[in-house]
Amino acid sequence: MSTQNALLTILVEKINNDTLVLPTLPAIALKVRKAADNPDINLNEMGDVIGKDPSLTARIIKISNSAYLGRVVKVTSINQAVTRIGLLQIKNISTALAMEQLFVSRNDLVGQYINREWNKTIDVVANAMAAMQMYTKATKNRDLSLDTMTLSALVHNIGVLPILTEAERHEEVFANPTFLDDAIDKVSGRIGANIMKVWDFDQSFIDITEHWNDLAFIPKKVSYIDFVRIGAALAGRMDTQKDAVLNLAMQRGAIRDMADLDSEDFKAARESGKQIFV
């Protein structure tokens, strides 16, 4: 057995034995999600919860004033921002904005992987959001929400983080490009699904993290995973499957016209999505 396969075997054993270190949601995201699940909470109380984190407060105000929500009149306080966004959306949006805190490392090689992963993920998010906005505009279908789409795309490849964490903890054996690329390709989906379960996310998130790059997994009707795949294909994450992804999206009606992906409306929506995380 090669060293690479031996390391992968160790990683899989850790997964099977529940000894692989999984990331935890940032503390502020946990607080916001817990507060949002309280049926008695009001907008002002939610504003107080978010207001305890200056960084998240600034980003929530920024997003409430962005093209993401299509508003012109500016808000200047967290209470105004929460009122504009609404309690139903604030849970996912706050979680999404806090996700960047997970993408850090002290190891140079692992840090390069994590930075690359974050930047690529933002590309996926921006493309997926733009694709869904084009779909919603064309079909008038309001079954899917943009905030859930944003979070879905952000966590689609979250399974890479425990692999990179393991490499950071045992850099003398795990932190090499050959092993990392192979491990990410073979087990990141399974790990991602486990993370979603531990975080108590809905089944749709579990399916996305486990199956986003498996085109044999096809839901009965258009869902978030369709737009995650479109976003990934356009971001260069699925080069060998790009045509298959886009053709499948056309067949399922997630894309109405391939020309839409080159339109000015699509480009503007994609740029607006990126700006949320800059």
Query: What is the phi-psi region of residue 236: left when phi exceeds 0, alpha when psi lies from -120 to 50, beta otherwise?
Result: left
Q: Taking a C-beta distance cutoff of 8 angstroms, is the pair 133, 149 a contact?
A: no
pLDDT tens per residue across span 173-192: 666 777 778 778 888 898 99
Report the pLDDT value the prediction gives residue 1, as an integer from 0 to 100.
46
Residue 230 — very low, low, confident or very high, per pLDDT cuts 50/70/90? Answer: very high
What are the structural domains of the chain?
3-20+101-275 (1.10.3210.10)
Report the pLDDT value the prediction gives residue 175, as an integer from 0 to 100.
62
Report the pLDDT value the prediction gives residue 155, as an integer from 0 to 100.
95
Closest CA to 110 of 185, 179, 25: 179
Q: Taking a C-beta distance cutoff of 8 angstroms, is the pair 15, 187 a contact?
A: yes
Q: Taking a C-beta distance cutoff of 8 angstroms, is the pair 148, 96 a contact?
A: no
Burial per residue of 37-56, b for 16 or more beta-carbon CB atoms within 10 angstroms, e otherwise: eeeeeebeebbebbeebeeb
Between 34 and 179, where is the model more confident?
Answer: 34
CA distance linking residue 171 with residue 186, whole number of Å: 20
Q: Taking a C-beta distance cutoff of 8 angstroms, is the pair 192, 159 a contact?
A: yes
Residues with Cβ within 8 Å of residue 227, at least 6 apart in sequence: 128, 129, 131, 132, 135, 144, 149, 152, 153, 254
Residue 60 belongs to what H/E stretch? helix 54-64
Residue 224 — very low, low, confident or very high, per pLDDT cuts 50/70/90? Answer: very high
Report the pLDDT value the prediction gives residue 16, as an integer from 0 to 100.
81
pLDDT tens per residue across span 57-95: 998 988 888 766 666 678 888 988 888 888 878 999 999
Q: List the single range of 28-37, 60-69, 201-210, 251-260 with lowest mean pLDDT.
A: 60-69
Q: List the single range of 121-125, 152-156, 238-242 with lowest mean pLDDT.
A: 238-242
Average pLDDT, the chain: 88
